Structure 1
Amino acid sequence: MSRTLYGSRAAPAVQRQWFKSGAVPVAVYGLGKMGLPLAAVYAENTGNVTGVDIDESVVAAINDGDCPVAREPGLPSLVESLAARDALQATTDSRRAREASVHVLIVPTLVDDDNDPDLSALTDVAGDVAAGLDPGDVVIVESTVPPRTCVDVLRPLLEDASGVPRHSFGLAFCPERTSSGRALRDVRGSHPKIVGGVDDESTRVVGLVYGVLVDNDVIPVADATTAEAVKVFEGLYRDVNIALANDLARLTDELDIEVRDAIDAANTQPFCDIHTPGPGVGGHCIPYYPYFVLHWLQTETPTLSTARRVNDSMPGFVADRVAEGLAASEPNDGDAADARGTVDAYVTDGGAIEDTTVAVLGLTYRSGVAETRASPGVDVCDLLADRGATVYAADPLVEASGVRAEHVAIDELRDCDLDAAVLATAHDEFDAVDWSAFDPLVVVDGHDALDVAGTDHRVYTVGRGWR
């Protein structure tokens, strides 16, 4: 017999036992790189989860006990065991999830071409949930959304489309705090779990649910909007902090210092936590969350817009350093080893990149993660191609599909007759590149990760300058 939690008068210990025994059916909507680990943790604790996804290949793989999400330790074996005992079943048909009384939504929320938040995937799924919503059900949103989405968008949608009065079902926001490559560990409780409902009963129910799932603290906040803001604010903090680091990195040449060393030393003071500079900010999170405020709310937030401009400009900064190195005259004192890229030592020629051959190492936004969304490496390829370069792209995880570059294997780089190389993503696989095998190059290292010691290459490291 199925049970519901919202509005139940049973003792909390009894409700918790219902949930753990599988008497409270769960549906998880979205089985991507965040959704599948979440569904798996629900399933290992309850034994009664239906996963819903629009991708037929993902659904087929899960039902066969295969894991369509790569590079997640422990997830393949967990999916295999859950599928074998029918604790986790996947479907493309949302009607099969209508018997669930806990509905968990974890689908992408991005921005459109004008950087306006695009909630279409979320509202489509919410419409599917509403078609089978019953009194006593609870809807949990883990997708990152603009603040006030639950109260202004989802609650009226669910109420109107289902016919269930708003005080007869629960709705809460419980942000995912998960990183690729450690998803199971994070879902199970690397960090405290934030829960906030549109009413007190929603907060109580989701607190009970996550009290079963996670090993860390469950922190209830005042309401769903506060919980939504928590998740967005986490991303905004990182975007602004990285922008500060990138702005400081631009001071390297003028100050004639290694800014990365200054940042490291500054961070020994406990109230200072400057992040690390780099070639830009990518992925499905940080580049988008600022627009959940900038293009959703009315209040001006100039710090956020400035940070976005700074971080969006970093691929151009990297391309400029390539041009600077290619156009450089010999340093004025004739000693290249002592030159640190001061303004009078190197002269930038805007056309220096034209008719050169440049390799870009890394197309994914982050090392070890096969995701190219908003990747600085892709932008660097485009900018170099715009300036007339022949661009080769090497990445161990993805091809150069849709990128203005020709894909090349890492061990084929030495055959490309390169004039310059850019490290855009610090994949471990690039450690195997033998830089001594290349004729002298201009090398721009976006992450301070390349070992080019003992070579004659002219190297610029973001935050360290020329050597």
Structure 2
Amino acid sequence: MSERAELAAPLYGSDRSESAQREAFTRGEYPVTVYGLGKMGLPIATVFAETTGTVTGVDIDESVVDRVNDGDCHVRNEPGLDEAVADLVADGALRATTDGAAAAEGARIHVVIVPTLITEDHQPDTSVVTSVARDIAEGLAPGDLVCVESTLPPGTCRDVLAPLLRYESGLDDGEFGIAFCPERTSSGRALADVRGSHPKVVGGVDAESTRAAALAYDELTTNEVIPVSDTTTAEAVKVFEGLYRDVNIALANELARFTGELGIDVREAIDVANTQPYCDIHDPGPGVGGHCIPYYPYFVLNWLETPAPLLATAREVNDATPVHVVDLLEARIEERGDSLAGSTVVVLGITYRAGVAETRASPAIDICRTLDDRGATVYASDPLVDAEGIPATWVHPEEVGAIDADAVVLATDHEEFDAIDWDAYPSSTVLIDTRDALDDDGLERDVYVVGRGP
């Protein structure tokens, strides 16, 4: 347990007035440590530093720590983040270290934003979060507040983190606070989201934890702070958001498969159906990627005992969608009297989303693998990442047109691909647009759009 409990006033269990606590928070009297400086952690640390002027960021990657301490932002394509990090480091409001236990010693508020992993057999793996909790416990003092922003299986704070922190620190219930305060941010707009694009949810293990966390985040965000009953409710809020999107996208992807049999533009039908206020079907696409939506269902499926067949089916549908894209491509090639095996195919986009340098669970990678499995020669192009570890030869976006391709699949609609002259491809080249991103008003050639048809 930390011996510096009296060095800084506590927020949890404080006998100060609310207004005095708010002033103390914004004056930096409650030092903050943020554990995890990744693409969400660094923006969160930045906003805490803007608000309090006293933030230490922790990361296990020495290169990340060195860059932050140099005022250099390693997270790409986040508007305003480069300048904010440079200014805050120069002002002494933000610094970084690899020593989590030492950083915990100097903190009154501990903010955890590290990933919850999934094993190869889709079991939730909380080892990174519990490792951080052990570092926190080494410096945890009476009056400290632990705010967990990492997405967790519901019940983790109550059943795993709270007992671990008590055991490792030697503190009892009521001597320190724990609140779950889920990040609700998207890549490419993280600063805006942390500052207040969406209401902030907070739920504590006790009423005082909820109160203290709500006060702190109310100073951070311009939006509403929503206190909920407890940590498990707050954890469920975050997971349920992801489950809704996974199931809805699965519905859209399944509806898109009716395009050929019905002979209709399914996307048009979806758009018009959504004019009814109780209908909100998402857009179909090549599948679901990223570090969130493909993983959250397993926080329920493989964590809780209650069966969830709908969630399992949605995962199956979305996981199979990249294969369906290749099936569509293969059918188009065979219609022209050729075979996919031996064909040259260019896959445009490797990341899971345009403008985001993230390949985790990207459907584009599964498209490349399926093409390779079926004997195609695969080239992949992406302006943000290379094709390392993917069965494809990487090609610069500006050189895509030089490849004698039998087929092209637009898997991720990066703006860099807007410059491609699609009409320059021979009429025999099969074009598959999985994102409905090509403006066909001026195109003089055939394009197959997933959910629209040819």
| TM-score, scaled relative to structure 2 | 0.96
Q: Given the superposition, is the C-alpha separation of residues 458 and 328 from structure 1 closer, same or farther in structure 2, using an over 3 Å criterion?
A: farther
CA RMSD, 1 decimal: 1.2
- What does residue 168 of structure 2 align with? 161
Q: Given the superposition, is the C-alpha separation of residues 417 and 452 from structure 1 closer, same or farther in structure 2, using an over 3 Å criterion?
A: farther
Which secondary structure does the structure 2 equivalent of 1:399 belong to?
A: coil
> Structure 1: which amino acid aligns with 2:378?
V
Inter-partner Cα distance in structure 1 for 2:184 and 2:443: 42
Inter-partner Cα distance in structure 2 for 1:456 and 1:114: 47
Residue pair 1:41, 1:187 contacting (<8 A) in 2 also:
yes
1:89-118 per-position Cα deviation (integer Å, ceiling 9, x unaligned):
100111331210100000011211000001
- What does residue 48 of structure 1 align with? 54
> Structure 2: which amino acid aligns with 1:465?
G
Q: Given the superposition, is the C-alpha separation of residues 110 and 40 from structure 1 closer, same or farther in structure 2, using an over 3 Å criterion?
A: same
Inter-partner Cα distance in structure 2 for 1:44 and 1:458: 52
> Structure 2: which amino acid aligns with 1:138?
L
Give the C-alpha shift of residue 153 in structure 1: 0.5
> Structure 2: which amino acid aligns with 1:442?
V
- What does residue 446 of structure 1 align with? 434
> Structure 2: which amino acid aligns with 1:360?
V
Q: Which runs of 5+ in 1 are unaligned?
A: 331-348
Matching residue within 394, 397, 402 for 2:384:
397
- What does residue 302 of structure 1 align with? 309
Matching residue within 343, 352, 374 for 1:356:
343
- What does residue 66 of structure 1 align with? 72
Which secondary structure does the structure 2 equivalent of 1:172 belong to?
A: strand
Matching residue within 327, 342, 364 for 1:377:
364
Matching residue within 424, 427, 432 for 1:437:
424
1:437-458 per-position Cα deviation (integer Å, ceiling 9, x unaligned):
2222111110111245666654
- What does residue 120 of structure 1 align with? 127
> Structure 2: which amino acid aligns with 1:386?
D
Matching residue within 182, 185, 197 for 1:190:
197
- What does residue 417 of structure 1 align with? 404
Residue pair 1:110, 1:284 contacting (<8 A) in 2 also:
no
1:116-140 per-position Cα deviation (integer Å, ceiling 9, x unaligned):
0011111111110011111110110
- What does residue 450 of structure 2 align with? 462
Which secondary structure does the structure 1 equivalent of 2:244 belong to?
A: helix
Determine if the alignment matches structure 1 residue 7 to structure 2 residue 13.
yes
Determine if the alignment matches structure 1 residue 20 to structure 2 residue 26.
yes
Residue pair 1:194, 1:219 contacting (<8 A) in 2 also:
yes
- Aligned pairs for 1:232-381 (under 5 A) are 232-329=239-336, 352-381=339-368
1:19-65 per-position Cα deviation (integer Å, ceiling 9, x unaligned):
11111110000001100000010001100000000111111111111
Residue pair 1:64, 1:83 contacting (<8 A) in 2 also:
yes
> Structure 2: which amino acid aligns with 1:407?
W
Determine if the alignment matches structure 1 residue 76 to structure 2 residue 78.
no
Residue pair 2:28, 2:54 contacting (<8 A) in 1 also:
yes
- What does residue 3 of structure 2 align with? none
Give the C-alpha shift of residue 166 in structure 1: 2.0
> Structure 2: which amino acid aligns with 1:463?
G
Give the C-alpha shift of residue 16 in structure 1: 1.2
Inter-partner Cα distance in structure 2 for 1:27 and 1:423: 42
Which secondary structure does the structure 1 equivalent of 2:245 belong to?
A: helix
> How many corresponding residue pairs?
446
Give the C-alpha shift of residue 13 in structure 1: 1.0
- What does residue 217 of structure 1 align with? 224
| TM-score, scaled relative to structure 1 | 0.94
Give the C-alpha shift of residue 14 in structure 1: 1.1
Inter-partner Cα distance in structure 1 for 2:273 and 2:422: 32
- What does residue 205 of structure 1 align with? 212
Inter-partner Cα distance in structure 1 for 2:86 and 2:256: 46
Which secondary structure does the structure 2 equivalent of 1:90 belong to?
A: strand
Which secondary structure does the structure 2 equivalent of 1:263 belong to?
A: helix
Residue pair 1:252, 1:259 contacting (<8 A) in 2 also:
yes
Residue pair 1:211, 1:218 contacting (<8 A) in 2 also:
yes
Percent identity of paired positions between Structure 1 and Structure 2: 62
Give the C-alpha shift of residue 353 in structure 1: 1.0
Q: Which runs of 5+ in 2 are unaligned?
A: 1-6
